[in-house]
Amino acid sequence: MRRPAVKLLTALLLPGLLASCLLPPFDRGLSLAEATAGKLKLEVRIGPLYRWRGDLERGRYYFLPGKTRGLNRGFLVVFSSYDGRVFYIDYDALTGYGMTGEQSFQIMNSNENLSNYGAWVLKDPSGVDDALLLVRPNLAAEQRLEFQYVAGTGLTPHAYDLSAFTSGITGGQVVGVGLFPDSATTDFLTTLVNEGGTSNYYDRVSAFAFATSGYTLSWPPSAVPAPGIPGSPLQGFYFRNPAATGLRFLSAWNGSGYANYRWTDTSPPAALPFNNRIEALLSSNELFVVDREQAVIYSPAGERKYSFPLGDLHFAYETYIGGVPTLLFSLIYWDQVSNNNEEFHINVYSLPTASLATLD
């Protein structure tokens, strides 16, 4: 007497079960990313691209659009615990998008939270090449890695000791590096050098742009010392807005998180009340910080101003578009509907820096 009821229940449920199996699984990182991406301007959709998904997801991976050949081209960077890889994403009107270059390099980064490489896209005033600068302070053999992409030639790596650029500083070592947006043609490379001891920190700021003939460096005639940084860190990320007199920031790994400091020409280093790495000092003098799956914006004094979800959305950098300071973000997503573990796409988004508060 009960079998017909069982058959009826099965008949009612089976279509729903089959339909649910065809839907993509819930992806928290993608869901959080879409919550913010919906408030941004979509600049370009890149893809389809093809790579085995597990080949990229073995570490942190993200896309950095180029600053020379257009936002639809750029660098796909992958960091795992012990190695890194750089791919160049290019576009051809006949063949579409493709990964046209790949270079690998070794890193000592067993603790992924350390994130001890800085990755910055460089500008080419000649308007020809895209280039990527990877910097790890206090590691002479790999202190600076540069990946240059030239159309028709491919991706070429170069390795340098960044301390060679600390003109006027003798016997010191680079302990902090960052990049600050300047204009349509150049950025400022900000460098912190330690000459030994807790009070011997000096900085340099240089107009820094990629060029096939080398780099144009313009060091100021003197550097302002920092009167003692707690713990005397020897590796970190250093930021300074050359237009804001004396305002400086250091984000240094202390073994359990990032210790963050602010100082000026006249005030000693003071600790900021958060322990996540400073990703960027913006043209507004606000600090862009990533705390797990969200972005948090702090004032120069370390006051929390607003936050918004990131998930899989990655902050690329701040640049100038049409003369307006603008933040760029990228989102990598896979073809989940057909369960294709080799096809992926990249969206590039923008937001004027002055509109950051609208994301809160």
Contact 274, 259 (CB under 8 A): no
| Residues 20, 24, 30: CA angle, nearest 5 degrees | 140
Alpha carbon separation from 79 to 73, 110, 119 (Å, rounded)? 20, 11, 11
Contact 279, 290 (CB under 8 A): yes
pLDDT (tens digit per residue) in 212-265: 544 555 555 445 566 678 888 878 899 988 776 678 999 988 878 899 999 887
Alpha carbon separation from 252 to 131, 133, 166, 293 (Å, rounded)? 26, 19, 20, 21
8 phi and psi angles, rounded to 5 deg: -65, -40
127 phi and psi angles, rounded to 5 deg: 70, 30
pLDDT in the model for residue 267: 83
For the record, the structure tokens of 12 come out as 């009612």
Contact 165, 144 (CB under 8 A): no
- The rounded distance, in Å, linking the Cα atoms of 83 and 79 is 6
Which range is least confidently modeled, 20-29, 32-41, 268-277? 20-29
- Residue 169: is its pLDDT beyond 60? no
Residue 116: closest CA among 174, 195, 166? 174
More confident: 264 or 167: 264
More confident: 230 or 8: 230
How many other C-beta atoms lie within 10 A of the C-beta of residue 124?
Answer: 19
pTM of the predicted protein model: 0.87
Domain boundaries, given as residue ranges, for the chain: 37-359
- Per-residue burial over 207-225, b if 16 or more Cβ lie within 10 Å, else e, is bbbbeeeeeeeebeeebee
Which range is least confidently modeled, 113-122, 138-147, 202-211, 326-335? 138-147
For the record, the structure tokens of 24 come out as 């993509």
Average pLDDT value over all residues in the chain: 80
- The rounded distance, in Å, linking the Cα atoms of 142 and 116 is 12
> What is the amino acid identity at position 166?
T
Residue 316: closest CA among 44, 13, 35? 44
Q: CB within 8 A of 94, min separation 6: which ones?
A: none
- Residue 44: is its pLDDT beyond 80? yes
Of all residues in the chain, the percent with pLDDT exceeding 70 is 75
For the record, the structure tokens of 43 come out as 């600049």
CATH number of 37-359: 2.120.10
Task: Give the pLDDT band (50/70/90) at residue 309.
Answer: very high
- The rounded distance, in Å, linking the Cα atoms of 290 and 174 is 24
Contact 334, 343 (CB under 8 A): yes
Residue 102: closest CA among 92, 89, 121, 91? 89
pLDDT (tens digit per residue) in 101-134: 888 877 665 555 555 678 899 887 777 888 888 8
For the record, the structure tokens of 255 come out as 């073994």
For the record, the structure tokens of 254 come out as 């202390």
pLDDT in the model for residue 8: 37
Distance of CA 221 to the CA centre of its chain: 31
More confident: 20 or 28: 28
